[in-house]
Chain A
């Protein structure tokens, strides 16, 4: 079974600074998808960024980028120019790509933005 590990229960960063959230995963598959989701206090799970394992290039979405290290099974999220609205729980998630197995989530990292 696949597992996703987020070793940082909480991270704090000053507004406008850069922060990196860590995620490691375990799988025997060669093709899969990885995601970072944001869950603010409103509870709505919002997709931040998506990475396809067969793509070498790291995904980027505006201020959000990932460092995908397939051999190390590592998938970190970098948030540049942190804003107060970035404060939320961040979850790393894995999908086997087979379709029906559902997403496997880590336990989350609580990101605090200091003004």
Chain B
């Protein structure tokens, strides 16, 4: 049973560029949430996707956008990268009616220079 997978593992970008991160949920899960974890901090909720729609959003600007595909996989896009966007980006999947139990992927480490 495949768990949550994310790609790429590491990514280096420069300020002003755009980046796309990818997530495949655990088999059978239909809901994907994204989190940003800055160095030395706990993860912060960015948004959640279900049925290809953004259901809820944390306190993140519109530069952060996402998408969910019919196979439930998801992308996180960040435009106009800032140095402060450097962080570990975590994807978590769950069942729509059990979002209290989320399974996390290994994360993508984004460095913005």
* Nearest-Cβ distance from residue B105 to partner chain A, whole angstroms: 8
Report yes or no: B106 in contact with A106, Cβ–Cβ below 8 A.
no
Contact status of A105 and B88, CB under 8 A, knowing A50-B101, A100-B99: no
CB nearest to B45 among chain A residues: A102
Query: CB-defined interface of B18-55 with A at 8 Å, one 1/0 digit per residue?
Result: 00000000000000010100001111111110100001
User: A4–B44 Cα gap in the complex (Å)?
Assistant: 12
Report yes or no: B104 in contact with A45, Cβ–Cβ below 8 A.
yes
Stretch at the interface among A14-22, A76-84, A91-99: A91-99
User: A44–B33 Cα gap in the complex (Å)?
Assistant: 15
Report yes or no: B101 in contact with A45, Cβ–Cβ below 8 A.
no
| Total residues of chain B contacting the partner, CB 8 A | 30
Report yes or no: B90 in contact with A108, Cβ–Cβ below 8 A.
no
B100 interface contact, C-beta 8 A: yes
Which residues of chain A in 48-107 are interfacial with respect to chain B, using CB atoms and an 8 Å cutoff? Answer: 50, 91, 93, 95, 97, 99-107
Interface of A, secondary structure class, is loop
B66 interface contact, C-beta 8 A: no
Query: CB-defined interface of A28-56 with B at 8 Å, one 1/0 digit per residue?
Result: 00000100010000111111001000000
* Nearest-Cβ distance from residue A101 to partner chain B, whole angstroms: 6
Report yes or no: B99 in contact with A44, Cβ–Cβ below 8 A.
no
29 A-B contacts (beta carbon < 8 Å): A4-B42, A33-B100, A43-B88, A43-B107, A44-B105, A44-B106, A45-B43, A45-B90, A46-B104, A47-B103, A50-B100, A50-B101, A91-B43, A95-B99, A95-B100, A97-B100, A99-B55, A99-B99, A101-B45, A101-B56, A102-B45, A102-B46, A102-B56, A103-B35, A103-B45, A103-B92, A105-B42, A105-B44, A107-B42
Which 3 residue pairs are nearest across A and B when measured between Cβ atoms?
A: A102-B45, A105-B42, A100-B56
